[in-house]
Structure 1
Amino acid sequence: MARRLNGEGTIRQRKDGLYEVRITSKPDPATGKKQRISRYAKTREQALKIRSELQLQYSGDAAAPTSLTLGEWLPHWLELYARPSVRHSTYVSYEGYVRKHLVPALGAVPLDKLVPADLQRFYLRKLQEDRLAPKTISNLHACLHRALQQAVKEQMIPSNPCDAVDLPRKEAAEISVLTREQQVKLMQESCRHRYGVFIRLALSTGMRIGEIVGLRWDDIDFTNRILFVRSTLNRLPTVDGESKTQLFVGSPKTKNGRRSIPLFDAIISDLADWRKTQEADAQLAQSAYENTGYVVTNEFGKPIEPRTFRDHYIRILKAAGLPHFTFHALRHTFATRAIEQGMDVKALSKILGHANVGFTLDTYAHLLDDHKRESMMLMQELYPQPATQKPEGKLIYLPFTARNIAKE
């Protein structure tokens, strides 16, 4: 039986299996009459989305605080607030958290009855029984906090229960880095492969895989030797609950991710040679070639998606006789070599696209400790050294003043 939400219409399942969404519009200012609108959906999830859209379009009535459960509020929040305001990849993550975790476990709880203890037990179950990583639970919590904060703004609930929850402690992620010898092997082997130039590009710039495959020729200034990171190419799951994915062109996840990276001559030369490879591909493919403007392309000019590019990388890695390293390890390797070579940490942070220098310092603290130790050794020549000995054989240390220590 359909449950009527105050001012938000109803959802009912028909005998043929379809879900019917009904909503009554607010009175027309000219005639004073209301209009009844009906829409149909194959699943209840789709019906909830349609109801949210219809409410936004036709209804001026706000839902009463006690009329909504968490399972009814979250899909409404996703469509009305999250989708227009967050990156597509973030929306996909939010939709998955809502559909797979939040609604099945807490969907029946009324918004105004949800308390911190409910969430604390929920997160504990996810950690211990479902074996979710603390990082995943933290992301799930961020999604729920954002949804409930909107409910607070609309005075549906007095406060956000997420504020009183203690999250599981996140373990520091281990950073995998190639040694200098391994890096040399990989770079040498990369010269024998079609897409090897982009392995060298990653090791020389710290770019992420999505940033590399999303690179376009317009993003490279050959005259001034600068590369601009402006977009990413990723394969993301769809939001219909099915195991389908789609390629999506987006922007870097933070404003700092949109950055410029100076290139040295060897990289410029590599990229110029690759452009000639693309020109040769176009001549061979003739009309079958598609000039998409992407830098990383197959023999027909079409962009390479991250999964396919990762497969090429793994083959190069194996051909070099190296153990498995994730592609992200190349980014860490670049940062490690930069620190070892004495690059300024602030400059490194900008090149990597980190939100702030503090994040760079935290991520590579162990490397910076070694670098600090080496730097401190340069100061030791300024420190007073053991100089003379007393006749009885005891050491006398020169003080910071010009006079010697008086005899005892």
Structure 2
Amino acid sequence: MAKRGQGEGSISKRSDGTWWARITVGKTPDGKQKRKAFYGKTRKEVQEKLTAALNDINNNTYIEPSKMTVEQWMYIWLRDYKKASVKPKTYAAYEAHVKNHIAPELGSYTLASLRNDMVQRFVNGLADKGLKSITIERIVGTLKTALMQAVDNDLIVKNPASRIKMPLKQERTPRVLTVHEQELFMEASKEHRNGEIFLLILGTGLRIGEALALTWDDIDFENHILCVNRTQIEYCDHIDGKTIYHREYSTPKTKSGQRTIPLIPSLVDMLLTLKEQREQEKQKFKEAYKDTGLIFCNYYGVSLNYTAIAKKIQSICKKTGLEGVHPHTLRHTFATRGLENGIDLKIMQELLGHSSIKMTADLYTHVLPETKKNSMMKIAGTINI
């Protein structure tokens, strides 16, 4: 028997235990009512689909499913299923995938007409453009997730992106500074305001966003411990043709990102000296100073952005003659030096905040063979043959 709530259309339980609903979405050219059906395993699921359709009808944004394009659906998916459920930076990445890749290539097709071979050509085209395999994976992941939601919403019967052949993964050997290059880079860093951020990353393996988010409360000077509790994120919104930039703080993506890192004595001394300098700046610019507690900031206590940091690295590289260096290079260098000097892989995983030891091992396969050899040599003297 149909159950009807006020303004919710009709909802009925089917003989197989599932639920379905019907709603009037307009009229046919001959004046007859046009009806749309929704199906689901539970009444709640059907009700949610029905409510979403009613909202679209009331706001004059309802699109007939058979006519809905991929582009229209992608932006509906972003608005209704991602905007409120993911972090702003993640949402901005999804939006960029849609705006820069998915909509231009697949957007004009209707959802109902999209086929596996069309998606495969799209993926092959991304590879032909020279995009990295990890970037292609993320773009396709965005498309696949959105289309799966379209299946759940009864807009399409199956997901045309579910069985795509992905390009071969490229071997990722991260750029790492040699010991000599590291010495050159460290010496040049000391000549720059906030150059200490590079020394700290080289000595802790922090991500650049984690370093930029550090406050003095995150440093336990007594026990020589640094606590990672948050990261600085930068993203942009596109509103009414305008691009609005944001800089905010967020918790790390995974639980393993929240961690403590022991500090070597030279880093503790460096941070103590820097803390004194910040106190002097606070007094000097007290009327204009924003006491954010940030370790790395401008003369007025305001946070730094990623672009400013990247420019500092470019300046250092120009002076030292180094190439291919970016903030993550310093993190990779820390990990490589640590593994070269016998730090256990599991400990390195925890220091870097990786979610799995496999991630650490995959990134540093170029270091591990020599590390294993050195470890084995430690027991050579205990085996007399």
Same fold (TM over 0.5): yes
Q: Specify the alignment match of 2:219 in structure 1.
A: 220
Alpha carbons 1:211, 1:229 under 8 Å: kept: yes
Unaligned 5+ runs, structure 1 = 1-5, 10-51, 386-408
Q: Specify the alignment match of 2:69 in structure 1.
A: 69
Cα displacement string for residues 170-229 of structure 1 (whole angstroms, at most 9, x for unaligned residues): 212231111112222322333343322211101001112121112122222223322222
State the SS of the aligned residue for 1:290.
Answer: coil
Instruction: Report matched runs for 1:196-345 at 5 Å.
Output: 196-240=195-239, 245-320=245-320, 322-345=322-345
Alpha carbons 2:89, 2:234 under 8 Å: kept: no
Structure 2 residue 198 is matched with structure 1 residue 177: no
Q: Specify the alignment match of 1:15 in structure 2.
A: none
Cα distance change of structure 1 residues 8 and 183 upon mapping to structure 2, 3 Å threshold: farther
Larger deviation: 335-344 or 169-178? 169-178
Q: CA RMSD in A?
A: 2.8
CA distance in 2, matches of 1:144, 1:292: 40
Cα displacement string for residues 346-369 of structure 1 (whole angstroms, at most 9, x for unaligned residues): 111011111100110111012001
Q: Specify the alignment match of 2:372 in structure 1.
A: 372
CA distance in 1, matches of 2:247, 2:305: 7
Q: Percent identity?
A: 34
Alpha carbons 1:68, 1:110 under 8 Å: kept: yes
State the SS of the aligned residue for 1:266.
Answer: helix
- Residue type at the aligned position of 2:314: I
Cα distance change of structure 1 residues 361 and 7 upon mapping to structure 2, 3 Å threshold: farther
Cα displacement string for residues 304-359 of structure 1 (whole angstroms, at most 9, x for unaligned residues): 11111222233334444544522211101100111011111111101111110011
Cα distance change of structure 1 residues 186 and 126 upon mapping to structure 2, 3 Å threshold: closer
- Residue type at the aligned position of 1:344: D
Q: Specify the alignment match of 2:353 in structure 1.
A: 353
CA distance in 2, matches of 1:71, 1:7: 25
CA distance in 1, matches of 2:171, 2:91: 26
Instruction: Report matched runs for 1:87-126 at 5 Å.
Output: 87-126=87-126
Cα displacement string for residues 60-115 of structure 1 (whole angstroms, at most 9, x for unaligned residues): x9977535322221111101111112221111111122122222322232323322
CA distance in 2, matches of 1:259, 1:223: 18
Alpha carbons 1:87, 1:253 under 8 Å: kept: no
- Residue type at the aligned position of 2:185: L
Q: Specify the alignment match of 1:139 in structure 2.
A: 138
Cα distance change of structure 1 residues 188 and 308 upon mapping to structure 2, 3 Å threshold: same
Q: Could you tell me the TM-score, scaled by structure 1's length?
A: 0.75
CA distance in 2, matches of 1:228, 1:57: 50
Larger deviation: 313-322 or 259-268? 313-322
Alpha carbons 1:53, 1:80 under 8 Å: kept: no
- Residue type at the aligned position of 1:367: V
Cα distance change of structure 1 residues 382 and 268 upon mapping to structure 2, 3 Å threshold: closer
Cα displacement string for residues 275-332 of structure 1 (whole angstroms, at most 9, x for unaligned residues): 1111111122130111112111111111111111222233334444544522211101
- Residue type at the aligned position of 1:84: A
Alpha carbons 1:214, 1:232 under 8 Å: kept: yes
Alpha carbons 1:310, 1:327 under 8 Å: kept: yes
- Residue type at the aligned position of 1:81: Y
Q: Could you tell me the TM-score, scaled by structure 2's length?
A: 0.79
Q: Specify the alignment match of 1:153 in structure 2.
A: 152
- Residue type at the aligned position of 1:227: L
Structure whose alpha-carbon radius of gyration is higher: 1
Larger deviation: 362-371 or 212-221? 212-221
Cα distance change of structure 1 residues 54 and 251 upon mapping to structure 2, 3 Å threshold: farther
State the SS of the aligned residue for 1:189.
Answer: helix
CA distance in 2, matches of 1:178, 1:297: 26
CA distance in 1, matches of 2:166, 2:242: 30
Larger deviation: 264-273 or 244-253? 244-253
Alpha carbons 1:195, 1:312 under 8 Å: kept: no
Larger deviation: 143-152 or 369-378? 369-378
Alpha carbons 1:8, 1:55 under 8 Å: kept: no
Larger deviation: 227-236 or 299-308? 227-236
Alpha carbons 1:152, 1:159 under 8 Å: kept: yes
Alignment size in residue pairs: 336
CA distance in 1, matches of 2:269, 2:121: 57
Cα displacement string for residues 128-154 of structure 1 (whole angstroms, at most 9, x for unaligned residues): 2x4433322211101011111212223
Alpha carbons 1:227, 1:263 under 8 Å: kept: yes
Cα distance change of structure 1 residues 284 and 142 upon mapping to structure 2, 3 Å threshold: same
CA distance in 1, matches of 2:343, 2:56: 52
